[in-house]
């Protein structure tokens, strides 16, 4: 019986054409380019047109990943879609993506781990491959935040952070090889629901009494995201550092062994602080938040694609991933690209 390993065989990404700079947001959000850059590192973000759905962004990223993997799309035998902004409440966005790609019949999973969605999804894909259940899994993270933002001065602290985009990877199977061959090595996953309401959207929901949504909830803007920024910042730095340190230690690796780190892109100050705590040289961290803002489940695969295009990520490199998000959820992964 074969001993299967999983590896990333293809990467792809897509962002909407329209870019909105901090100067554009100054006109409506009572903010400034200086304020946004100092607190987040974000310079611009991309927002989708009104007639575009989350699965549409995912299609574009998936097509690029499939081409990069040099496989036929019908070789894909499973879809895992990480998003907090699906096309509709139900069914899951994975089914809409599946239909648009013409891959009817294969299983489609939706997962809701927010900013940690890609790492959770990667662990699932890795496990499926290693059991021999699937051979080529399309793992996608995609978001359209722009349609759910409070674009008034009252909502500026959250609205300046988020962008729309999609990242996709093909997770493929092969028989186990050497340590320096491309393969996914390990994962470390966590959650703590005690902090669920520190970063969340209260409505619509079945916990709101008789109505999932009503006019009172809309008047109170409960349909927009709420974030306790200080709490999120402190926990993100602590948990990402802890998880990454655990993953490296578990695999007898040091910071020196890792060629590149790809962190979730929520706030450049968070990533800089994690790097400082871990003793990671700045040149080993690849950030994209300045160009895209926080695209939640898409940030890591989007960054992976951009790192490849920039010549920063090459086959054979040891790569560390880490993310933290709503839930709270957090985790890390180690892989040989």
Which of the residues are catalytic?
115, 264, 294
CA distance 268 to 299: 13
CB of 60 closer than 8 Å to CB of 120: no
CA distance 142 to 83: 6
Host H or E run for residue 81: strand 78-82
CA distance 218 to 21: 28
> Checking phi first, is residue 162 left (phi over 0); if not, alpha (psi -120 to 50) or beta?
beta
With CA atoms as reference, report the closest residue to 57 among 129, 156, 147: 147
First CA to last CA distance, the chain: 25
Helices 33-40/268-278 angle, 10° precision:
30
Paired with 165 in beta bridges are 143
Would you state the structure tokens that stand for residue 247, as one six-digit string? 């993953």
* C-alpha 301 chain-centroid distance: 7
DSSP secondary structure string for all residues of 17-40: S-EEEHHHHHHHHS--HHHHHHHH
Checking DSSP bridges between strand 183-191 and strand 329-336, what pairing results, if any? antiparallel
User: Which residue shows structure tokens 């994975």?
Assistant: 94
Secondary structure of residue 227 in the 3-state scheme: strand
Phi, psi of 299 (to 5 degrees): -65, -45
- In sequence order, what are the residues at sequence separation of 6 or more whose Cβ sits closer than 8 angstroms to the Cβ of residue 127? none
CA distance 119 to 82: 9
């Amino acid at each position: 019986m074969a001993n299967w390993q999983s590896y990333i065989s293809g990467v792809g990404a897509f962002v909407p054409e329209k870019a909105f700079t901090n100067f554009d947001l100054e006109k409506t959000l009572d903010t400034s380019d200086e304020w946004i850059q100092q607190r987040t590192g974000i310079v611009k973000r991309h927002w989708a047109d009104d007639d575009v759905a989350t699965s549409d962004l995912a299609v574009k990223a998936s097509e690029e990943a499939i081409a990069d993997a040099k496989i036929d799309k019908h070789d894909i035998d499973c879809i895992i879609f990480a998003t907090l902004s699906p096309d509709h409440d139900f069914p899951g966005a994975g089914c809409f993506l599946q239909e648009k790609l013409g891959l009817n019949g294969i299983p489609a999973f939706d997962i809701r781990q927010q900013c940690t969605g890609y790492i959770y999804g990667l662990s699932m894909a890795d496990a499926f491959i290693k059991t021999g259940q699937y051979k080529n899994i399309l793992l996608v993270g995609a978001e359209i935040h722009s349609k759910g933002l409070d674009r008034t001065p009252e909502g500026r602290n959250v609205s300046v952070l988020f962008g729309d985009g999609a990242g996709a990877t093909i997770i493929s199977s092969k028989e186990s090889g050497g340590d320096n061959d491309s393969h996914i090595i390990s994962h470390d996953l966590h959650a703590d629901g005690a902090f669920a309401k520190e970063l969340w959207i209260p409505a619509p929901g079945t916990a709101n009494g008789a109505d999932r949504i009503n006019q009172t909830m809309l008047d109170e803007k409960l349909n927009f995201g709420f974030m306790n920024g200080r709490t999120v910042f402190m926990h993100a730095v602590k948990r990402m550092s802890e998880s990454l340190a655990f993953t490296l230690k578990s695999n007898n690796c040091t910071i020196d062994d890792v060629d590149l780190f790809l962190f979730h892109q929520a706030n450049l100050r968070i990533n800089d602080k994690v790097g400082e705590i871990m003793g990671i040289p700045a040149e080993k961290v690849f950030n994209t938040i300045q160009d895209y803002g926080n695209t939640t489940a898409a940030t890591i695969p989007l960054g992976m694609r951009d790192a490849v295009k920039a010549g920063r990520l090459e086959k054979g490199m040891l790569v560390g991933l880490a993310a933290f998000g709503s839930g709270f959820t957090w985790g890390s992964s180690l892989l040989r690209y």
